[in-house]
Amino acid sequence: MASEKLMNLLNQAISQELSASIQYMWHHVMAIGMRSPEVRDKIREISIVEMKHAEKIAERLDYLGGVPSTKPTPIEIGTNLEDIIQKNKAKEEGAIKLYRDIIKVASDEGDTTTRLLFEEILSEEEEHHNDFSTLLEGS
């Protein structure tokens, strides 16, 4: 079964995903300005994906015998459209780093299922990072 280290990392990932989902949904509501419809729609879409990530990770952790976290990491609230996007981009950068670490640990432990799950999620997080980077280019 999974090591304590890997299970702790999975709980960090759940907390990260919960935080992203809450932060992005709040930003979806807060986004105002000329470009806000485009930005709101993208943030809302990503928020839903993040919640699905939390669910998949929690299911994996439960299978491995762990207890999924219910506490999100700190939420950063932006003050304007550009700040909102910057904060969301930074949250994606944190997730990308964490998920690369999880992939390495899972690989080292021979946990192919967890490694594959996080490779899939990492790909989506990199896409989200690109989405936020692209939105910033137009600001």
**Of the candidates 97, 87, 105, the residue with the CA atom closest to the CA atom of residue 19:** 87
pTM for this model (two decimals): 0.94
CATH domain 4-137 topology: Ferritin (1.20.1260)
**Average pLDDT for 29-36:** 80
Work out the pLDDT band at 138, boundaries 50, 70, 90.
low
Rounded to a whole number of angstroms, the CA Rg of the chain reads 15
DSSP string, 62-116: HHTT------PPPP---SSHHHHHHHHHHHHHHHHHHHHHHHHHHHHTT-HHHHH
Residue that wins the pLDDT comparison between 1 and 9:
9
Sequence ranges of the domains in the chain: 4-137
Residues with Cβ < 8 Å from 98, sequence gap 6 or more? 9, 12, 13, 16
Work out the pLDDT band at 139, boundaries 50, 70, 90.
low
Per-residue pLDDT reduced to its tens digit, 78-97: 999 999 999 999 999 999 99
